[in-house]
């Protein structure tokens, strides 16, 4: 297969403007901690209409910073959906907190608020201190319901929006952006190349709470502060002049800083976000149309879309009845790959990972919806540069892969 015609499940797009923006930083006095990082933070906050954006080195670092800022610890527990990337759950373990996996709605892949409510009800000791819903594939989870549940339990709500830059939802007739709404305390983004904007590695936490943003910045850089000192005497010379070299470490922080090189690339990419979201939605509409006309038997179905939301389509996931078709997903993926179509599975349920099975904090609870979902999930190519003929090729290759290997029973 000629590499130029291979369609991966996702890919970044780099323009000459992006290259120029990074080159400009290379020629400047700063490679890190210069003006490009705060400029990116302003651009991101402006895009979302949010008060504060704190950029950091990855989405995983952003999740960890969120947990540090909220002061999670070994006596606490955190609810996460099982259908996510492992980092969503890992950030709770970084703090020594317990992870409680919530089941999902198999039709959407999103955390099920009823499953969250059940976990909260069982939490007589009030150990649960945070809920981390994931806006899976770019579709907003039910934040108003989840925030209400969190609030009544005295827990924080941190939304993992690594798939959902540019997503929005309506609540009581009002439009809210993911990253700027009254239904979350902290919102986490990733700028890994497969996500909406690429930085190489990069992430951010967005919030409307100034005090939380200050603490995020503290933990981002070693827990070091250069003002509001605990020891004002040590900060000053006997003659009252501030000591120019002085700083204080008051908390145990990390080096989770972003570089100016990455931030410049991020700001340049952000200028194209609006148009790339429009294109992602057009591609999704084309998939819906082609899939419904090709698979009239319902054996291949897009994930359900909730009413009153604006989807950001990081991923395009379909649910395939592999078992009823009598075909293995591996065989279909391998055949598609051989024919130039990249696919992926999002995600292996995190509670089934050996690490989490070994922890036994979840008492081996069964999560039937996520296992049903996982059995059928396949992510098809989704990125703004896909053409309409690319999409047609994906659907016809998928049809060929399913037809060529299906059992005789299906053929009738
Ligand atoms: C990508 C991703 C992360 C982690 O982001 P990195 O930038 O790769 O560290 C966390 N959660 C979800 C849902 C993701 O997709």
**CATH number of the domain encompassing residue 151:** 3.40.640.10
Kindly state whether residues 326 and 370 are assigned to the same domain: yes
Q: Which helix (H) or strand (E) holds 276?
A: helix 273-294
Query: Is 7 a member of any domain?
Result: no
Average pLDDT over residues 396-400: 96
pLDDT tens digits, residue range 188-227? 999 999 999 999 999 999 999 999 999 999 999 999 999 9
Lowest mean pLDDT among 4-13, 126-135, 141-150: 4-13
Q: 59 alpha carbon to ligand 1 midpoint, in Å? A: 5
Q: Alpha-carbon distance 100 to 365, whole Å?
A: 10
Kindly state whether residues 129 and 144 are assigned to the same domain: yes
Query: Is 188 a member of any domain?
Result: yes
Using the atom order of ligand 1, give the atom closest to the CA of residue 58.
7
- Told to judge if 195 belongs to the known catalytic residues of this protein, a careful annotator would answer yes
Count helices and strands in the chain by DSSP H and E runs? 16, 17
Q: Alpha-carbon distance 85 to 164, whole Å?
A: 14
Query: Is 144 a member of any domain?
Result: yes
Report whether residue 88 contacts ligand 1, using a CB cutoff of 6 Å: yes
Phi, psi of 155 (to 5 degrees): -110, 155
Task: Evaluate if residue 360 carries a pLDDT over 90.
Answer: no
Q: 399 alpha carbon to ligand 1 midpoint, in Å? A: 31
Task: Please identify which of the residues 129, 195, 366, 392 carries the catalytic annotation.
Answer: 195
Kindly state whether residues 314 and 213 are assigned to the same domain: no
Kindly state whether residues 178 and 285 are assigned to the same domain: no
pLDDT score for 85: 98
Question: How many independent structural domains does the chain possess?
Answer: 2
Q: State which residues form the domain around 323.
A: 273-410
Query: Is 89 a member of any domain?
Result: yes
**CATH number of the domain encompassing residue 330:** 3.90.1150.10
Ligand 1 pocket: which of 62, 84, 88 to mutate (most atoms <8 Å of CB)?
Answer: 88
pLDDT score for 411: 47
Task: Evaluate if residue 308 carries a pLDDT over 60.
Answer: yes
Report whether residue 197 contacts ligand 1, using a CB cutoff of 6 Å: no
Kindly state whether residues 398 and 266 are assigned to the same domain: no
pLDDT band at 30 (very low <50, low <70, confident <90, very high): confident
Question: In the structure encoding, which two tokens stand for residue 3, read together?
Answer: 């590499």
Q: Alpha-carbon distance 311 to 219, whole Å?
A: 32
- Percent of the chain whose predicted confidence (pLDDT) is above 90: 91
Nearest residue (CA) to ligand 1, atom 14: 162
Phi, psi of 53 (to 5 degrees): -125, 130
Kindly state whether residues 245 and 334 are assigned to the same domain: no
Per the confidence metrics, is the pTM higher than 0.75?
yes
Query: Is 8 a member of any domain?
Result: no
Phi, psi of 328 (to 5 degrees): -90, 145
Kindly state whether residues 264 and 378 are assigned to the same domain: no
Using the atom order of ligand 1, give the atom closest to the CA of residue 203.
7
pLDDT score for 406: 60
Mapped onto helix, strand or coil, the DSSP state of residue 286 is helix
Average pLDDT over residues 375-382: 98
Query: Is 80 a member of any domain?
Result: yes
Other CB atoms within a 10 A radius of the CB of residue 399 amount to 15
Report whether residue 162 contacts ligand 1, using a CB cutoff of 6 Å: yes
pLDDT band at 412 (very low <50, low <70, confident <90, very high): very low
Q: What DSSP line would sit under 297-353, residue for residue?
A: TSSEEEPP--TTEE---S-EEEEE-HHHHT--HHHHHHHHHHTTB--B-----GGGS
Kindly state whether residues 78 and 209 are assigned to the same domain: yes
Kindly state whether residues 123 and 255 are assigned to the same domain: yes
User: Quick check: 86 and 59 in contact, CB under 8 A?
Assistant: no
């Amino acid at each position: 297969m000629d590499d130029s015609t291979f369609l991966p499940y996702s890919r970044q797009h780099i323009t000459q403007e992006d290259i120029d923006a990074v080159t400009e930083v290379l020629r400047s006095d700063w490679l890190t901690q210069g003006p490009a990082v705060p400029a990116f933070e302003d651009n991101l906050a402006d895009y979302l209409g949010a008060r504060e954006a704190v950029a950091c080195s990855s989405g995983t670092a952003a999740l960890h910073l969120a947990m540090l800022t909220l002061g999670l610890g070994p006596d606490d527990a955190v609810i996460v959906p099982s259908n996510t990337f492992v980092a969503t759950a890992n950030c709770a373990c970084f703090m020594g907190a317990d992870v409680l996996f919530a089941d999902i709605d198999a039709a959407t892949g999103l955390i099920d608020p009823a499953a969250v409510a059940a976990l909260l009800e069982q939490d007589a000791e009030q150990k649960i201190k945070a809920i981390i819903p994931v806006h899976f594939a770019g579709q907003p989870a039910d934040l108003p319901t989840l925030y209400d549940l969190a609030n009544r339990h005295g827990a924080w709500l941190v939304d993992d929006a690594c798939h959902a830059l540019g997503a929005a939802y309506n609540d009581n007739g009002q439009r809210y952006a993911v990253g700027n709404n009254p239904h979350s305390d902290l919102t986490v983004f990733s700028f890994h190349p497969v996500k909406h904007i690429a930085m190489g590695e990069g992430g951010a936490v967005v919030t409307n709470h100034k005090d939380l943003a200050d603490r995020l910045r503290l933990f981002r850089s070693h827990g070091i502060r250069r003002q509001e000192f605990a020891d004002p005497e040590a900060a000053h010379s006997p003659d009252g002049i501030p000591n120019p070299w002085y700083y204080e470490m008051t908390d145990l922080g990390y080096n989770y800083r972003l570089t100016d090189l990455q931030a410049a690339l991020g700001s340049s990419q952000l200028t194209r976000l609006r148009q790339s979201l429009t294109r992602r939605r057009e591609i999704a509409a084309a998939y819906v149309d082609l899939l419904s006309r090709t698979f009239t038997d319902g054996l291949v179905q897009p994930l359900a879309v909730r009413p009153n939301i604006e989807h950001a389509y990081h991923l395009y996931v379909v649910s395939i009845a592999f078992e009823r078709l009598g075909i293995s997903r591996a065989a279909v993926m391998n055949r598609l790959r051989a024919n130039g179509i990249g696919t992926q599975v999002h995600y292996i349920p995190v509670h089934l990972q050996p690490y989490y099975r070994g922890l036994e904090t979840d008492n081996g609870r069964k999560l039937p919806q996520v296992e049903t979902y996982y059995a059928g999930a396949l992510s098809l190519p989704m990125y703004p540069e896909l053409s309409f003929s690319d999409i047609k090729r994906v659907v016809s290759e998928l049809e060929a892969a399913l037809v060529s290997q299906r059992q005789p029973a299906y053929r009738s």
